Amino acid sequence: MKMKLGIIGYGGMGFWHGENAPRAGVEVVAAYDVDPKRLEMAKEEGLTAYNHLEEFFKHEGMNFVLIATPNDVHKELTISALHAGMHVMVEKPATMSVSDWDEMVAESEKTGKILTVHQNRRWDRDYKVMRKVVEEGNVGKVLSIESRVFGTGGAFFGWRSFPEYGGGMILDWGVHLFDQLLDMYPDTKVKSVYAKLMTVLDQKVDDYFKVTLTLENGPLLHVEVGTFAFYKLPRWYVIGNGGTLQIDDFDCKTGGYTKPRYTDTPVAEVVVMTPAGPTRMMAPRPPETKEDFELPEVETDWTELYANLVKVMEGEEELLIKPYQVRRVLEIIEAVFQSAKEDRSIEVSI
């Protein structure tokens, strides 16, 4: 079955889907937007452009809708699209509350139409490399995973700087980074959430956050995003009882993992003079007592996400991005906002 895709919200991300979905064999046919300038652009790209939602839904043969508007209208547009008989993929964050999401899922169940979310960062190379190293046991039992994204832009543009439209970094990058980690630990409950949301520059929404998730019998997960940080910390940093992993950036060009090598050479038996002063614990390790490894290669192709949706339409596969996973991320986000507001750790079982 061919996917004939219509795009609601032909802004930055809507345009991106229009350009990239065809790589997965999808035919992009139409766009709806409230901004006439964006509709002109859609026409230039060969799409039929609509400024009326009901007309858009009647586009001949269209069977799937991608929603890429500001976050505050995801829910109402999703429900309208499902009601009009469309399958729907909505951009992240799916919406701004768990109860909104439950309403969206209820409509999808009522209409029998697909509802999923564009959690494309499950296909990011850095994430896949981190998972491969960890899941192959290369750093032993994992005690801590740190996931960070830092930029220097500072200011937000347009709707992203207003809370009422769903602005701020938790709902922008946080949702991706939580989704990645929760996907890695599908059967391990998060038992507490502690969050600090900050505004480094004078803004109405969070432009810097630190979130700690504690898992039941699992590692501590630390997620941090900054928009005004001039020195970067690694994209991933993992501590295990069998080694350490560092991935510096999205491209995975630098980083690696290191494991101890057990030799007859004593490690830090005597006090050593270091720039930090006399120490045994923090003394440099003799090179022959450790082994450094390059980051592994991984195959990753984001078009799998659209290919999966076509198979789901044909009844041949299950959704890769499942509604209950989306709900779990939204539950975490609600606990994050509660923790930040009440300045305390929130006990959960998510």
Q: Which of 33, 107, 331, 334 binds ligand NAD (CB under 6 A)?
A: 33
Report the distance separating Cα 113 and Cα 82, nearest Å.
Answer: 6
Task: Tell me which DSSP letter residue 344 carries.
Answer: S
Stretch that binds ligand NAD, among 27-35, 188-196, 239-247, 261-269 (CB under 6 A): 27-35
DSSP H/E element including 310: helix 303-313
Q: Where are the beta strands (DSSP E) in the chain?
A: 4-8, 27-32, 48-50, 64-67, 87-91, 115-118, 142-150, 190-198, 208-215, 220-226, 236-240, 243-247, 255-260, 272-274, 277-279, 290-293, 346-347
Report the distance separating Cα 48 and Cα 96, nearest Å.
Answer: 30
Residue list 148-187, contact with ligand NAD (CB under 6 A): 158-159, 172
Which residue, 68 or 142, is less far from ligand NAD as judged by CB?
A: 68
- Smallest distance, ligand NAD to C-beta of residue 268, A: 45
Which residue, 154 or 287, is less far from ligand NAD as judged by CB?
A: 154
Stretch that binds ligand NAD, among 5-13, 197-205, 277-285, 314-322 (CB under 6 A): 5-13
DSSP H/E element including 320: none
How many residues touch ligand NAD under the rule CB under 6 A: the total is: 24
Strand pairing partners for 214?
A: 192, 220
- Should residue 120 be labelled a site residue for ligand NAD when binding is judged by CB under 6 A? yes
Q: Which of 20, 22, 48, 70 binds ligand NAD (CB under 6 A)?
A: 70
Q: Are 193 and 118 in contact (CB under 8 A)?
A: no
Which residue, 73 or 340, is less far from ligand NAD as judged by CB?
A: 73
- Smallest distance, ligand NAD to C-beta of residue 308, A: 16
Which residue, 9 or 323, is less far from ligand NAD as judged by CB?
A: 9
- Should residue 88 be labelled a site residue for ligand NAD when binding is judged by CB under 6 A? no
- Smallest distance, ligand NAD to C-beta of residue 175, A: 8
User: Minimal CB distance to ligand NAD: which residue?
Assistant: 11
Query: Given CA atoms 234, 71, 95, 6 in this order, what sign does their dihedral have?
Result: negative
> What six digits make up the tokens of 38?
């964006």
Task: Tell me which DSSP letter residue 284 carries.
Answer: P
Q: Label the pairing between strands 255-260 and 290-293.
A: antiparallel
- Smallest distance, ligand NAD to C-beta of residue 283, A: 44
Q: Which of 56, 57, 64, 71 binds ligand NAD (CB under 6 A)?
A: 71
- Should residue 195 be labelled a site residue for ligand NAD when binding is judged by CB under 6 A? no
- Should residue 38 be labelled a site residue for ligand NAD when binding is judged by CB under 6 A? yes
Q: Are 139 and 257 in contact (CB under 8 A)?
A: yes
- Should residue 17 be labelled a site residue for ligand NAD when binding is judged by CB under 6 A? no
Which residue, 91 or 248, is less far from ligand NAD as judged by CB?
A: 91
Q: Are 26 and 62 in contact (CB under 8 A)?
A: no
- Should residue 73 be labelled a site residue for ligand NAD when binding is judged by CB under 6 A? yes
Report the distance separating Cα 9 and Cα 13, nearest Å.
Answer: 8
Which positions touch ligand NAD (CB under 6 A)?
Answer: 8-14, 32-35, 38, 68-71, 73, 91-92, 118, 120, 158-159, 172
